[in-house]
Amino acid sequence: MDEREVNFAWRTLFRGKEITPEALAQAEALLDGLSGESPLHLRLANELEELKRIPKPRSKKGTNPKQ
C-alpha cells in the first residue's frame, strides 16, 4: 500500500465510527506497512496514541444510576 492508500484506509476506519479494539488493530497493521521515517507514519502513530487514550463508553446494559 502506498501512503495515499493508507491515508484513505485510515480515514475510512475512524471517520464517524466507534473506536473499537478491532479498528485499533487494523490501524496498527496500516502503520506496520509504512516506513518508520515516513511523515505520515509519524502523524498517524501520534493520532493512534491519542485514539487509544479516549475513554471507552460504558455499557448501559444493566446499569441504572437512578435505582
Q: What contacts 12, CB < 8 A, 6 or more positions away? A: none
- Give the C-alpha separation, 8 to 23, whole Å: 14
- Terminal CA-to-CA distance of the chain, rounded, Å? 52
Predicted pLDDT of residue 63: 55
pTM of the model: 0.76
Per-block average pLDDT, block size 10, for the chain (67 residues)?
A: 94 91 95 92 96 77 55
Predicted pLDDT of residue 21: 93
Q: Quick one: CA dihedral 58, 59, 60, 63, positive or negative?
A: negative
Q: Are 6 and 34 in contact (CB under 8 A)?
A: yes
Domain positions in the chain are 3-53
